[in-house]
Amino acid sequence: KKSAEQFTFPVEWGHDLQAEHERHLTERIFKKPVVIVNFPRSLKPFYMRVNDDGETVAAMDILVPGTGEIIGGSQREERLEMLLEQMRLKGISIDDYRWYIELREFGSAPHSGFGLGLERLVQFVTGIPNIREVIPFPRTPGHAEF
């Protein structure tokens, strides 16, 4: 639904959510973790499963107050023809990904995957405001000379 909030980056279909949008949802609207599902097809990689509407993919992010995204995941595209179409639409060389295509040629079971930001999870659980304080080996510009 529409928000009276003025964002630096307007919310538009086909554009990724920015940190300010994530904070608005988790800290002002819901005041708890939020799961975002079914992202625009154009935003996500070729291997994410295209939904029946043809406009979205079976992807999700889990957002938490004070941190933002801690988990991103998706169902993988198991249909060979749809995978090839996605690659063509995104200008990806089929020859470069022949090994990946071969995984689908004899059929593939529906499957999914996700990534968890461990430092972000620790930040959320501990309530520490700056993620640099929970990173075990932080990297900062100029910190290590080569």
What is the pLDDT, as a whole number, of residue 127?
A: 94
Half-sphere exposure of 110 (CA within 13 A, CB side): 5
Q: Give tens-digit pLDDT for 61-93.
A: 999 999 999 999 999 999 999 999 999 999 999
Which pairs count as long-range contacts for 56-62, CB under 8 Å and 24+ apart, including other chains? 58/112, 60/35, 60/36, 61/17, 61/35, 61/36, 62/33, 62/34, 62/35
**What pLDDT shows up at residue 140?**
78
Instruction: Look up the pTM and report it.
Output: 0.86
- pLDDT less than 50: residues of the chain: none
